[in-house]
Amino acid sequence: MEKDKKLALESLVEKSSLSEEDKGFWKQMIANSPAEFMETLAEVLEMYPEELPWFNDILKRKQAAFALFETDKEKGMETLRGIYKEEQMKMEELISK
């Protein structure tokens, strides 16, 4: 069952418009996720497969914001706060669809 979910998710990523590098990252994350982590990935990506590029963009922007912590923590935190706000708006948009 878990294996089926992994395969379904990998297939969803493969069919997406993500770059090959980004597809590799997501597949890796899926392949190595703890069971409950993968469960959540599956629930959300199966509900909103067309949103994968948006989710990917947010993940990369979060990584960039965390990388800022090394040189400018305040700026990193401010950037993350902006991202959380975008997530909140996206959440409302997706729920009302």
**Host H or E run for residue 17:** none
Task: Out of 17, 18, 33, 50, name the contact with other proteins by CB under 8 A.
Answer: 33
**Least distance in angstroms from the C-beta of 52 to other proteins:** 12
In the numeric block, the tokens 């948006």 are attached to 54
Q: Is residue 36 classed exposed, middle or buried when 0-12, 13-18 and 19+ CB atoms within 10 A define those classes? A: exposed
Per CB under 8 A, does 59 bind other proteins? yes
**Least distance in angstroms from the C-beta of 74 to other proteins:** 10
For other proteins, which is the closer residue by CB, 15 or 81? Answer: 81
All residues at 6 or more sequence positions from 30 whose CB lies less than 8 Å from its CB, including other chains: 6, 9, 10, 13, 38, 41
Q: Is residue 86 classed exposed, middle or buried when 0-12, 13-18 and 19+ CB atoms within 10 A define those classes? A: middle
Total site size for other proteins, rule CB under 8 A: 39
Which residues bind to other proteins, rule: CB under 8 A? Answer: 24-25, 28-29, 31-37, 40-41, 43-44, 47, 55, 58-59, 62-63, 65-67, 69-70, 73, 77, 80-81, 84-85, 87-88, 91-92, 94-96
